[in-house]
């Protein structure tokens, strides 16, 4: 191959990759942290979630389906939570109650599905890939 045709081929390849690289760079992360769990009167567990939105977008819709696993790793129930709204560049605290199971009886919380992820004034999007999950409790929070 001639040096000139190699140079032109390389430039064409680079130009086709720029939009994909730019799109990846524009998408920040949305961190969901199970920060605290406390027993509630009458039985059950109150879960404190922090949502750190570093995506560059505010979300008017954000719902997750979570599978709650008991101390033996068996699915106890599915729990749907609505965390919207999630303002851009903010950390938001949301509390959710998980009835009829002690916090110590929860070994893991599995993100089963993101049922809604709608940025403000935009179409619904798939947020699964931009989520980072962490837990500061004895129960793991995992995908």
- Joined tokens for residue 132: 């980072």
In a domain, 19, yes or no: no
Per-residue pLDDT of the chain in tens (143 residues, 90 and over written 9): 565 555 455 545 444 444 444 344 457 999 999 999 999 998 999 999 999 999 999 999 999 999 999 999 999 999 999 999 999 999 999 999 999 999 999 999 999 999 999 999 999 999 999 999 999 999 999 99
Domain count, the chain: 1
The alpha carbon of residue 18 and the mean position of all alpha carbons in its chain are separated, in whole angstroms, by: 27
Contact 79, 111 (CB under 8 A): no
In a domain, 53, yes or no: yes
Residue 57 sits in a domain whose CATH number is: 2.60.40
Which range of residues forms the domain containing residue 80?
Answer: 28-142
In a domain, 77, yes or no: yes
In a domain, 11, yes or no: no
Q: Model pTM greater than 0.85?
A: no
């Amino acid at each position: 191959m001639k040096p000139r045709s190699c140079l032109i081929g390389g430039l064409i390849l680079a130009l086709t990759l720029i939009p994909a690289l730019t799109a990846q760079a524009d998408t920040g992360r949305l961190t969901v942290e199970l920060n605290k769990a406390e027993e509630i009167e009458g039985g059950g567990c109150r879960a404190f979630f922090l949502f750190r939105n570093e995506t560059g977008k505010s979300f008017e819709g954000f719902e997750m389906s979570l599978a709650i696993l008991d101390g033996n790793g068996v699915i106890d129930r599915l729990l749907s939570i609505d965390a919207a709204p999630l303002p851009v560049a903010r950390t938001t605290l949301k509390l959710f109650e998980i009835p009829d199971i002690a916090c110590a009886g929860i070994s893991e919380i599995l993100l089963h599905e993101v049922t809604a992820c709608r940025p403000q004034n935009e179409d619904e999007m798939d947020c699964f890939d931009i989520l980072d999950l962490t837990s500061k409790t004895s129960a793991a929070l995992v995908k």
